[in-house]
Amino acid sequence: MTEASSSTVLVCEIFGPTIQGEGVLIGLPTVFVRTGGCDYRCSWCDSLHAVESRFRHDWKPMSTEDIWSEVTRLSGGKPLTVSLSGGNPAIQPLGDLIDRGHGDGYRFALETQGSRARPWFARLDTLVLSPKPPSSGMACDLAVLGECVAVAGEEPQTVLKFVVFDAEDFAFAREVSAHFPALPVYLQPGNHTPPPADAEGHVDIEGLTERMRWLVDAVAGERWFSAHVLPQLHVMLWGNRRGV
């Protein structure tokens, strides 16, 4: 795991505008700031270029103003939602960036596995907590996840999002969400296809569709009528290509 200093953020890539491909903000025009570094190593990670230390020489330490200059260039200076992703963006010092963008009328969403609670979560507009299920090979600490919910407070829209590959993952999502009944839940089928070495971004769409159908049936069968079942829209449109 690599962390930036208090004055800089390790940035893997900044891209957009494109659409948010998953979760509560699906379909919303967005600029993405993807940070480098993560405290997890999920077995099916689709963003290894932002996670593994072998890519660290590609991550650029950037000041808040440098990041903001690029975001406003990409957005043409017109406010929109900025998605903070990774890796795990919660290991980076992003509070100043959020404050800087809010001053210009932009909104901020962050997605994290909920392994690090940060006071600046409360300054977000949307906080997506995505605890990693058993298929990831990682363990979820419910106490720390609860800390993330607590520090966020009532200001951001806080939701749970689960990647689901199989029945064990589905049971995990049910169990974790039961601890946080006030939080909306979003489920999406997992993508087994690893990131491509080429630029084509091929994905097993048939397999994803089958898992999506299974997930719909599982939610209906469990009478889990408060859950939202969504595809990974960006994967369906562009595969695993970076920068979209």
Confidence of residue 96 (pLDDT cuts 50, 70, 90): very high
Question: What's the pLDDT at 217?
Answer: 97
In a domain, 3, yes or no: no
In a domain, 244, yes or no: no
pLDDT, one tens digit per residue, over 132-183 is 999 999 999 999 999 999 999 999 999 999 999 999 999 999 999 999 999 9
pLDDT tops 80 at residue 1: no
Over residues 103-113, the mean pLDDT reads 98
Domain that holds residue 29: 9-238
pLDDT tops 80 at residue 3: no
In a domain, 214, yes or no: yes
Q: How many domains does the chain have?
A: 1
Q: Which CATH number does the domain housing residue 218 bear? A: 3.20.20.70
The answer to whether residues 68 and 101 touch, using CB atoms and an 8 Å cutoff, is yes
Region of residue 117 (phi > 0: left; psi between -120 and 50: alpha; otherwise: beta): beta
- Cβ atoms < 10 Å from Cβ of 178: 8
Average pLDDT, the chain: 91
Percent of the chain with pLDDT over 90: 76
End-to-end Cα separation, the chain, in angstroms: 25
pLDDT, one tens digit per residue, over 40-78 is 999 988 888 998 889 888 999 999 999 999 999 999 999
In a domain, 1, yes or no: no
In a domain, 4, yes or no: no
